[in-house]
Structure 1
Amino acid sequence: MGSGLAFWSPLLHLLLLLLLVMCAQGTGGRKMSETQLEATHNLMNPMDQRIHAHHSSSHMDHMDPSVMIFFTIKDLKVGKTMAVYFPKRDTSKSPRLLPRTEADSIPFSSEQLPQLLQLFSFSKDSPQAKAMGDTLRQCEMEPIKGETKFCPTSLESMLDFTHGILGSNTPFTVVATAHLRNSTTHFQNYTILNEPKEVFAPRMVACHTMPYPYAVFYCHSQASVNKVYKVELGGEDGDRVEAVAVCHFDTSDWSPNHASFSVLRIKPGTSPVCHFFPADNLVWVPTSTSV
């Protein structure tokens, strides 16, 4: 029972945030502070084929720790130890989720970035301006082959997109990574403690948080074979994580510059690529097929 509640908590948190914001007055929740930016600037969709490692060397010691989320399907076994990056963020400092009526009243376009920077009181050379521009460009890029994507700016629009992918009459639920112990360590070795459990889902929608003054997600679904797993991990410092992982079985259309290929030392299309999700990312799956 405790495990089930832990995996439901991100959805309950989002719903609570939505209710709080809908009751709030004014636009005070629209500001993105330096602290919020630091908490979100590494959250660009890790599975987007346009994102790649900051360093050209394939040696683990020279990798940006934030890309250390990838592994192979052969690693999904009890006792396997891997170096994994799990960002720890204070959700009280995260950008707020807006109700659809307010989110839809704000332009969401790179062409209107100058006006948006004025609206949010950011200078054009600020870190926030760069983060906003990167997010807008990511959301406006064409999907890769077999991918359906959308950047919802409200919970309602996220649920509408998920219904469109999974089926308008299909009940669905959300799974997300949960940290069972308070740990401040971002990057350490984790060991798989129990047999990983597959969340059998013929279709899934993954939603990744994006850096923006208010909550924006990069949601996508791929037509190729993907599998969702729940994996219990134990960290070197005593951290316990009920992690959600997704394995992508067809990477032939991914860019050779994708970070996973540098981390795993493989080439596109040669092996399934798996990755862990941070705690504030969501995976929507049909209720009838989840475990």
Structure 2
Amino acid sequence: MHPKFSPWSFSLPLLLLMITYANGENTQNNEGTHHHQHQQHHHESHDTTSPHMDHSVLVFFTLDDLKVGNTMPIYFRGTNPSSSSPHFLPKEEAELIPFSHSKLPSLLHHFGFSRNSPQATAMEDTLRQCELRPIQGETKSCATSLESMLDFVHKIFGLNSKFKVLNTQEFAKTGKFLQNYTIFDDPREVLAPKMVACHTMPYPYVVYYCHHQESESKVFEVSLKGENGSNDNENIVEAVAVCHMDTSQWSSSHVSFQVLGIKPGSSPVCHFFPADNLVWVPLTDNHEGFGDN
């Protein structure tokens, strides 16, 4: 039997709307009206769009790729929220549902999924990922509610900290997930002493894998234009990207190394964030943001 979500439950778009108003910022500002000469560039290891490749891994790049005029194939999965999309649960409701791999059989019964179903496999993978020990220098938490996500961000930044959230904004008119995108404006580094990245995980309700790494990371906002846009204002993506400067502790089998053709610790690894992933950064000035009283 599927759970009956309370009316308080809400989806990611509403979360982002709340955050936008809390920050007093207009995250829908489309700055895609700049005009630059596009100089074609192909990174050797990026030119691997074989039909047998999982195109969803085409989000990785190197710091050297982050320059105006560079063109590379990027996969941005679409976000089409509907009434059937997973929703955040209120903290009180989420805490009543066990979130443990050891409870998987009872969880499958609770949500009405058979043991051999794709949903069961996805739930098992998420629970296993959430229970893995963090790598060296990493602090992680799987947030099953908005409150638990904000609690984790406060834990990393400080109890009285103020912070804001960044996410990729897609203005594309096409439903094509994979296409060539060109950087058409100077990438803007978001200066922050710390960051928390939160990634969506497959589950019957919204779960975010949030983590902070002590090793240096840089956050960028990158203006991209897809090849399928018919004019200057179409098919624009204002993307959030993170560059991990030290990858020496990463597993050599990490997919980024396979995509980029590099080895752990040899080069910073950067990746774009899909629209439903979040990057939290502390505020270092007097701007209002989340965490204000």
- Give 1 or 2 for the bigger CA radius of gyration: 2
Q: TM-score, normalised by structure 1?
A: 0.80
State whether residues 168 and 240 of structure 2, in contact with CA within 8 Å, keep that contact through their aligned partners in structure 1.
yes
> Tell me, what secondary structure is at the counterpart of 1:151?
strand
Please say if residues 17 and 96 of structure 1, whose CA atoms lie closer than 8 Å, have aligned partners that are also in contact.
no
Measure how far apart 1:91 and its partner are. Answer: 1.5
Number of residue pairs the alignment of both structures matches: 243
Corresponding residue number in structure 2 for 1:47: none
1:273 matches 2:273? no
2:249 pairs, out of 246, 250, 253, with 253
Q: Quick one: distance in 1 between partners of 2:177 and 2:101?
A: 32
Structure 1 stretches (4+) deviating beyond 4 angstroms?
15-18
Aligned partners of 1:80 and 1:192 also within 8 Å: yes
Q: What does residue range 1-291 of structure 1 map to in structure 2 within 5 Å?
A: 13-14=14-15, 59-61=48-50, 62-92=52-82, 93-238=84-229, 239-288=235-284
SS in 2 for 1:113: helix
Q: Which has the higher helix share?
A: 1
Counterpart contact for 1:199–1:290, Cα < 8 Å: no
Aligned partner of residue 211 in structure 2, secondary structure: strand
Cα distance in 1 between the residues matched to 2:106 and 2:286 = 44
CA deviations over 1:191-214 (Å, ceiling 9, x no partner): 001000001111000000000000
Distance 1:72 1:180 in 2: 24
- The alignment's C-alpha RMSD in Å is 2.0
User: Match of 2:149, SS?
Assistant: helix
Q: Distance in 2 between matches of 1:290 and 1:126?
A: 50
Deviation at 1:14, TM superposition (A): 1.2
Listed as ranges, the gaps of 5+ residues in structure 1 are: 1-9, 19-57
SS of the residue corresponding to residue 114 of structure 1 reads helix
One-letter code aligned to 1:14: L
Quote how far apart the aligned CAs of 1:64 are.
Answer: 1.1
TM-superposed deviation, 1:189: 0.4
Contact 1:97 1:214 in 2 (8 A): yes
The amino acid across from 2:262 in the alignment is I
For the 8 Å contact 1:11–1:174, the answer to whether it is kept is no
Structure 2 counterpart SS, 1:117: helix
Report percent identity of matched pairs: 60
Give the partner amino acid of 1:249: M
2:53, 2:241 → 1: CA distance? Answer: 21
CA drift at 1:290:
11
Structure 2: which amino acid aligns with 1:83?
P
Relative to structure 1, the CA distance from residue 158 to residue 187 in structure 2 (aligned partners, 3 Å threshold; closer, same or farther) is: same
Q: Which amino acid aligns with 1:284?
A: W
Asked whether the 8 Å contact 1:154–1:215 carries over to 2, the reply is yes
In the aligned structure 2, how far is the partner of 1:153 from the partner of 1:259? 26
Paired residue type of 1:178: Q
Q: Equivalents in 2 of 1:203, 1:174: separation in Å?
A: 13
Using the alignment, how far apart are the partners of 2:152 and 2:144 within structure 1?
11
